[in-house]
Structure formats: C-alpha cells, structure tokens
A and B are shown apart, each in its own frame.
Chain A
C-alpha cells in the first residue's frame, strides 16, 4: 500500500514535465502512513532518495501524516470526496500537514503531483 511511495523515484524522474516543474525544488520531507515513515529527498525536481524509517533525529522540512487507510483511499484511481486531495484530507481530519510549510507552498503543484503519482498502484 503506501509502500508505493518507494516507487517515487521511478514515477517522478521518468516524468519529464513533472521534473521540469520541480526544477527549483530541493528539500527533504516526511511522509507518514500509520506507524511507517519515509523521508523523500528531492533535488532540483528529481527524487534522489526515498528512505524508510524508523528515524532517529532526522531533519525534514515539512511532514504529511495520515493513517494507512487514508492513504489507501487517497491513492485510489478515482478517490471519494474528502480523500481526493491533500487539503481535503487535512480539513476532514484524515491527514495532518506540519513543519516548515514554505517549501510546500512554493512548490505545491509539484508536491501534490508527486504524492498522487502512485495513484492507482496502491
């Protein structure tokens, strides 16, 4: 299921227009699904690394946390209302977005496209 985040390097780096849109994005952010966590390192629009936790004292800019079931619904090919968007999940209480929001907001379309890249594969 959210293990599909480990496919992000292939899914993102093989998408030329996504990489182009993210060319000014360099950051490391945390994705949490229940008790599992991944650190996603982006360098100039390419996903350099996805590491699986648990982590001890690792730095990240922002974090996106949701229960596994919420990610499962988010990653369905045609998600239900409330699970179709990161902020929809946050407003409905299914997800939390935390940390330094500036890199997220500066590259919001890129990050949203990155997180939905595994849609239909979960």
Chain B
C-alpha cells in the first residue's frame, strides 16, 4: 500500500473585492484550527512538515491556503491586463474571508514574513476573532536589503532564478540541504511579477510603525519568533516591534533564517511546539 501523507487539498471559490477567486488549500489534523500564511512569492507547501507532525496535528487542524496568484490558486479572471499588488486591506480581507467560508471558530493564525507582518494588523483590528496570533519573521517595518524590486520582474532577468538566488541568502547555513532546496524551488516556481507584487505590501503598504502600539494582547496573545540568520526581518526588527506591544512574546531562533517551518522543520518544531502547547493550555483554562 502507498504510504499516503495525512495532508489533503481542496479547491473552492472565494469572493474577494467583489470578484471570484479559485483558491486551493491543504489541511491535516483535528482540533483547534491553525491557519498558516506562507511567505511572499511562495505557497502553502511551506507548511507540509508542520502538517505531517503528529505532535501538532493531534491537537490542531492545520490549514494553509495558497494566496490568489500563488501555488495552485489562480489569479482572478482578467489578470492578464493587471499588475498584481498585495495590499494590507486585501490581505486582511483574504484571511478573514477564508476563515469565515470554512466556518473556523476562533482560529490561531500563524504567518511567516508577509504572513508574519499581517498578523500584526489582525491583532490590531480583529483580535477577538482569534485564539492567538503567531508571527514568524515579523516586524512593523524592516529596511530593504536591495533597492529595486524591479529586478524580480523584467525580461532580461529570469524571475524564478533571481528569486531563488536572492532568497538563498535568507536561509541559515545550518539548514539541511534537502529542505533548503525545497524552499528555494517554491520561489523559483512563482508566476511573473507575483513576488514583486507581494513585496509592495512587505516593504511599502505594510509599514505599521505608527500603529502596532495599539495592539492589545489581553484580547489575543501574540507570539513573535524570528531566526537569527534573517537579515530581511532581523531579530532586532522584531524586538523593536515587540517593545511597542505590551505583552508580546519574543523568541529569537538559533540557526534559523527567514523560512523556519520550511528550511529547517526539525529545528523549528523545538521552538513552535512550546508555543502551540501554551496556546492550548490557555484555551483549556479559558
């Protein structure tokens, strides 16, 4: 018999900004819903190791959608004449629409990079809808490490090759070769201009320096975990952000870069399992 993984994938249509979008998501496990948000220019496969970890799926129903334009989700009809750009408003709408459509009751949301950034906005605007929020490689702002995202989408530079080559530096040198290259493969597969469009949110629209102080962690616990090798969102960026948010928990992860769950799943679980256990304990006592 084939050794089938416990992950299953489904498609459905979400209406976002008044337009239908065919969205793909995967899930595994049962219990508290745990919605996972992938990084810019990537897709939900980044969470496959979390979804096959019995210590997680025993207690959590882990779900990860591919954002529209990413992975197996499609861009909306008419995309061929549009420039894709992720906005704060659109990203919040996507996450809340997904959760409502599936009837997920007070889920935990765990996001990485752009996903880590948007949980700050979920915490500020909609804290009561969530059991807990977890931001990986998350900050209210991070200084750019190259000036021109135009390199990511132009005919004389291969978009997949450049995305993979740039991201390779954000992976810790200790991360195993197999998961390092899995992570980069997802970047190499992204559609033209999609990574660049996500970075509009990451770099420009998602500058939350003026508002993270409004987050109330008594309404919803907030955990921020950042890898020591991440020079895109540095541990210092995360600490500076957390210093403005009373009650935010900060962990700096050793020997990890910008893609904890994907680049080094074995190392990441030593950091995330205690957080997930703590969230579960709080839920029981609530």
Are B169 and A102 in contact, with the CB atoms below 8 A? no
The contact of A91 among B145, B157, B172, by CB within 8 Å, is B145
Q: Which residue of A78, A86, A101, A105 contacts B169 across the interface (Cβ within 8 Å)?
A: A86
Closest chain A residue to B188, Cβ basis: A109
Report A45-81 CB contacts with B as 1/0, cut-off 8 Å: 0000000000000000000000000000000001101
Closest CB-CB distance, B31 to chain A, in whole Å? 35
Task: Please tell me if the beta carbons of B228 and A81 are within 8 angstroms of each other in the complex.
Answer: yes
Q: Are A90 and B157 in contact (CB under 8 A)?
A: no
Bound complex: CA A102 to CA B154 (Å): 11
Chain B residue numbers with a CB within 8 Å of A102 are 156-157
- Looking across the interface, which residue of chain A has its beta carbon closest to that of B232? A91
In the complex, whether A108 has a CB less than 8 A from a CB of chain B is yes
> Judging by beta carbons under 8 Å apart, are B231 and A105 in contact?
no
Q: Do A88 and B169 form a contact, CB below 8 Å, given A81-B229, A108-B162?
A: yes
Measured between alpha carbons, how far is A85 from B166 in the docked complex, in Å?
10
Category for how many chain A residues contact B: 10 to 19
Q: Does any Cβ of A come within 8 Å of B146's Cβ?
A: yes
Per the bound structure, the CA–CA distance linking A106 and B228 in Å amounts to: 28
Check B161–A109 contact: CB distance below 8 A: yes
CB distance from A84 to the nearest CB of B (A): 5
Residues from chain A with a CB closer than 8 A to the CB of B191 are none
* Complex-state Cα separation, A87 to B170, whole angstroms: 9
A87 touches B145 (CB 8 A): yes
Q: Is B75 part of the binding interface, using a Cβ–Cβ cutoff of 8 Å?
A: no
* Interfacial residues of chain B within 198-234, with CB under 8 A of chain A in the complex: 228-229, 231
Within the complex, the shortest CB–CB distance from A80 to chain B, in Å, comes to 9
Interface residues of chain B, those whose CB is within 8 Å of chain A, are: 143, 145-146, 151, 156-158, 161-162, 164-166, 168-170, 172-174, 228-229, 231
Instruction: Return the 8 tightest CB-CB contacts between A and B, nearest first.
Output: A85-B169, A108-B165, A109-B165, A91-B145, A88-B231, A81-B229, A81-B228, A105-B151
By a beta-carbon cutoff of 8 Å, the part of chain A in contact with chain B is 78-79, 81-82, 84-88, 90-92, 101-102, 105-106, 108-109, 112
Given A79-B173, A87-B169, 13 more pairs with CB closer than 8 A: A78-B173, A78-B174, A84-B172, A87-B145, A87-B166, A88-B231, A91-B145, A102-B156, A106-B156, A108-B161, A108-B165, A112-B168, A112-B169
List 18 interface pairs A-B (beta carbons < 8 Å), by A numbering: A78-B174, A84-B172, A84-B173, A85-B169, A85-B170, A85-B231, A87-B145, A90-B145, A91-B231, A102-B156, A102-B157, A105-B162, A106-B156, A106-B157, A108-B161, A109-B161, A112-B165, A112-B169
